[in-house]
Structures are given as C-alpha cells and as structure tokens.
Amino acid sequence: MKQPWYSFLYVRSPIVKISLAIASLLLMIVLFLFMGLIEEQRMEAQTANWIGREIEKGAELYANNCYNCHGVDGKGLPGVAPALHSKYFFTQRLKDIGWTGSLHDYVALTVAAGRPSKVQSQWAVMMPTWSQRYGGPFRDDQVQAVTAFVLNWEEDALKQGTPDNPDPWQPFLDAPSKATAEEGAAPAAEVTPEPTGPRPPQELFVSMGCVGCHNLDQPQTPTNRGPVGPNLGNLHETAGTHGMDAFTYVHDSIVNPNAYIVEGYTAGIMPSNFAERMSEEEINALVEWLLDPNRQR
C-alpha cells in the first residue's frame, strides 16, 4: 500500500520506542528527585505565603472596619478605643486581666464577640460584635485574618518605650496595670507629642477620635440617628436651631459637651477635655470646618 509522504516521520522500530519510554521514565525520576529535594523549602515558602496573604487580608479588613476607632496606625484614639499597636498590649495586658490563654486567642475572641456592653466601660463606643456567629459581618476566616494583622504589630510594638517612640496606651480602668516600672510597660505621660503649629481640622477630627462616634456623611434626622453621637452630615442646617448661633453651639459642644445633651443621648460619653488637647485657634478652625456646607475631607 502507498504510504503517506510524511511516513518517514513515523517511529517504527520497537527498540526505539522502548528506548524513548525508558528515557521518559528516567526524565520523570530526575524530575521527582528535583521536586523531592526542594519540597521542604517549597512547603515552607507556601506556609509563609499564606500567612502573608492572611495578614494582607486582615490589613484590608482593619482599614475598612477598625481604624475609625483604633486609629489608622493602631495606636488607639483617646477615649474611643484602646491602642493595639502598643507594647503594653503585647506584654502586660493579659497579665493584668488574668488571662491564661494566648494573645492570639484573646484578640480573636474579642474581635469575634466584641464588647457589647457599656457597663463600667471607659470607652465612648462599644466594640461591636464582628463574627457572623454572633450576628456580625465577618466570616471565621476574616476574624482570623484581622487577628493575624493585629498580632503582626508585635515586632514594632516591642520597640516602644523610648522617649521618641512612646507606648501609646492609655491606662485601662477595668484592670489597672500591675506592671512595675522596670518592666517598661508603664504608660507614657503624654500620648501625642506637642504639635508645632495648628493642625488642620480634617486631621483633628480623626486624631481626636471624633470620627469614632460621629458620622460626617449621614444627616441627623429623627429616623436616621447616629448610634453613639449625632450624625454631622447636616450640621450646618441644624446647629442654629438651639437658641444660640450655630458657631457658639458647636464650639460649646466641643469644649463643654455636657452643657447641652441632644435628646436621646447620654451625658458623659463625649470626652470633656478637648479644650486642653487643642488650641483655641484649632477649635475655631474645626468648628468652621464642621459648619461648612461644602466640607472637604
């Protein structure tokens, strides 16, 4: 029979076929040996990879959900929520509350269950419940991811305690620190270094912790009330309706918050020491900014 023109390409000899098969087997053995040799390192790299990715995911969750109260850099906001990026937190907090488990478990548990009670709390807001198991928004893997992110501050936090890198923690009232001075976990006298010039209102609104309780975008209406502090979205419209001019009302509410409590809110929640922590100039700028209808973030 006529063979096709490309028939010279066919491998016909069984010996050649068998030799090719043996060569292939040898190649596979070499490849498996190679993989076997680097397998240990590959698994280590993969392990580190997934921990790294978990921290990345946690960072994203933190940036979207936690920084409002615990601060952009995790150093907490005065009166709003405690510092996590803090040497005290990593070294002493568990001893003070008598927690026998690991810090990982403590963080994961606190994230998952929150602190949904205001009894004897020194903080303006309650820590919400985050886990879906208790009605929050996070899946289990997300609780783990934020926990991994928080714990990743450890290396930096342990370097704190020097004058130019103070530990930002504020004393907890629920469990006073039992640390001795030489353990280095005593609170820094003043959290924020003295400012050099007037700080812009946008920055103050975050660094003073206002952002933790007051929503800037939502309007305050009878059906849409801020849960902890009133919303400030429509402040320029409502501030003048309290029997004094808008500027005085807002100014007094910052300097002396308990003088006038909006109906439905409790006195004593908003910190009353803002006059000491901001200059008069800064407060005036902040008030003007808050009353600006076209406020820029």
Partner 1 sequence: MAVQPEIEKKSILQTVLDAADDVFTRLTAGIPAAEVRRMIRGEPPGRPNPRLKPHSEAFLLHIKPTYYHESVTRFTHTFRLGLLSTYLFFVETITGLILMIWYAPTPERAYADMIRLLSNVPFGQFMRDMHRLGAELMVAIVTLHMVRTYLTGSYKAPRQFTWFTGVILLVITLFLSFSGYLLPWDQLAFWAVTIGTSMAEAVPPAIVGETVNLLARGAPDIGANGLLRFYLLHVLFLPLLLFLFFFVHYYKVVHFGISLPSSEEEVGQDTANKVPADRRVYFLPDVMIDEASFLIGFTALMVLATTFFFSAPLESIANPQSTPLHTVAPWYFYWLQGLLKIADKTIAGVIIPGVLLVLLAAIPYLDRNPSRRARDRRVAIISGIVAGIVMIILSWMGTPYYAVQAAPAVEVVQELMPEEGAGLVREIGYKHLPLGVYDTREHPVTDDPEFNEVLHEFAAAIARYEEKDPTFNNAYGILKITQEQPNLKRITWEIYWVSPEGVEDRFIRTFFLHKDSLYWEQYGLKNFSFLRPATEE
Interface residues with partner 1 (CB under 8 A) are 1, 4, 6-7, 9-11, 14, 17-18, 20-21, 24-25, 27-28, 31-32, 34-36, 38-39, 41-53, 55-57, 59-60, 63, 139-141, 149, 152-156
Q: How far is the CB of 161 from partner 1 (least distance, A)?
A: 17
Q: How far is the CB of 148 from partner 1 (least distance, A)?
A: 10
Q: How far is the CB of 155 from partner 1 (least distance, A)?
A: 4
Tokens of 97: 């509350």
Q: How far is the CB of 232 from partner 1 (least distance, A)?
A: 23
Q: How far is the CB of 107 from partner 1 (least distance, A)?
A: 14
- CB nearer to partner 1: pick between 48 and 97: 48
Tokens of 228: 């902890």
Tokens 């342990």 sit on residue: 158
- CB nearer to partner 1: pick between 124 and 151: 151
- CB nearer to partner 1: pick between 165 and 258: 165
**Residues 205, 294: Cα–Cα separation, whole Å:** 16
- CB nearer to partner 1: pick between 7 and 117: 7
Tokens of 47: 């392990």
- CB nearer to partner 1: pick between 151 and 213: 151
**Residues 55, 108: Cα–Cα separation, whole Å:** 14
* Pair 239, 246: CB distance under 8 Å: yes
Contacting residues for 52 by C-beta, under 8 A, at least 6 apart: none
What backbone phi and psi angles, to 5 degrees, belong to 94? -65, -35
Residues counted in the chain: 297
Between the alpha carbon of residue 188 and those of residues 24, 67, 77, 85, 96, the distances in Å are 69, 22, 14, 14, 17
Tokens 């714990």 sit on residue: 151
3-state class (DSSP) for residue 254: helix
Q: How far is the CB of 274 from partner 1 (least distance, A)?
A: 29
The separation between the first and the last C-alpha atoms of the chain, rounded to the nearest angstrom, is 86
- CB nearer to partner 1: pick between 87 and 251: 87
